[in-house]
Amino acid sequence: MFDRLQALALLQLGDSAYPAGGFAFSWGIEGLAADGMLANRNELDRVIADQLTRRWATMDRILLRKAFRARNCKAIAEVDRLTEAGTPSAEMRDGSRRAGRALLGVWVKLEGPLSIAYRDQVSADARLGHLPIAQAVVGRDAGFSLDAAELVSGWTLVTGLVSAAVRLGIIGHIEAQQSQAAARGLLGELLADTPGADALPASFTPFIDIAVSRGPLRHVRMFTT
C-alpha cells in the first residue's frame, strides 16, 4: 500500500532546502569544471552516473545498509570507521564527515533518540560522523524503512550534484530537470538490484577524487568538496 506519511517524510528530507548544509558540497563538480572536464549537461550526466554506479551503489549504499541494521551505537561506529578507512581522499573524508555531522546535528535538535545517542559517539571520535552513516541513523529516527532510507540517500546525492552544476552556471534550470529525470531512471534501476548481505564497500571514481583533492590548491572556490 502507498504510505503517504513516509512519502511526505521523503519529500521533506530530500528537499534541497533541508537545513543540513548540503548546499556547501559539490562532490567534485566544481573541481571537474575548473579542470575543463565538465562544461555541459551531457558531461554532467556522465559524472552523475559515475557517482551513482561507482561510488554510491557500491560503497555509500552498502555502508548505509550496514549502519541501518546495526544493533547499537557501538556497532554503528564500527561501520563509520569502515567508511573512514575506505575513503582514500582526505578531502572526501573531511567532506563526508562535515556533511554527516551537519545532518546528524539537525536531528539532534529535532530530538531524534538514536541521533542524540550517536552524536555522543561522534563527539568523542574525530573519525566518526560520515554521511551514509548519519543518513542511516536519521532514517531510523524518521521511521523510514531501509528501502526509503536508501532512496533518499541516492536522491539527495543527485539533487546535490545538479544543484551545484546550476550554481556554477554549467547548466540552466530546465537542463537541471532533464538531468534529474535521467538520474531518476538510473537510481531506480540501481535500487531494484539489492546488494547481498555479504557485500563489501568499494568505489572507483578516480577523476572525481582527484578533482576534490585539488580543491585546497585552488585560489577561489565556492564549495567545500
In the prediction, which pLDDT does 69 show? 96
% residues pLDDT > 70 (the chain): 91
In the prediction, which pLDDT does 121 show? 93
In the prediction, which pLDDT does 9 show? 78
The DSSP 8-state label assigned to residue 60 in this structure reads I
- For 20, list phi and psi in degrees, rounded to 5: -115, 15
Q: What is the mean pLDDT of residues 136-143?
A: 94
Look at residue 115 and tell me whether its pLDDT is greater than 70.
yes
In the prediction, which pLDDT does 54 show? 94
- Judged by phi (left if over 0) then psi (alpha if -120 to 50, else beta), residue 196 lies in beta
Which of 183-196 are b and which e, b meaning 16 or more Cβ less than 10 Å from the residue's Cβ?
A: beebbeebeeeeee
Check residues 34 and 10 and name the one with the higher pLDDT: 34
Instruction: Give me the numbers of helices (H) and strands (E) for the chain, helices first please.
Output: 11, 0
- From the list 165, 201, 204, the residue with the least C-alpha distance to 30 is 165
Give the chain's end-to-end CA distance (angstroms, integer). 39
% residues pLDDT > 90 (the chain): 64
32 pLDDT band, cuts 50/70/90, is: confident
- Indicate yes or no: pTM above 0.85: yes
In the prediction, which pLDDT does 73 show? 97
The DSSP 8-state label assigned to residue 152 in this structure reads H
Look at residue 17 and tell me whether its pLDDT is greater than 70.
no
Q: Mark out the alpha helices in 38-89 (DSSP H runs).
A: 41-51, 61-69, 73-85
Task: State the helix-helix crossing angle for 4-14 and 146-167, rounded to 10 degrees.
Answer: 30
- Rounded to whole angstroms, the Cα distance separating 224 from 205 reads 18
For 1, the 3-state DSSP assignment is coil
Determine whether domain 50-217 maps to CATH 1.10.4190: yes
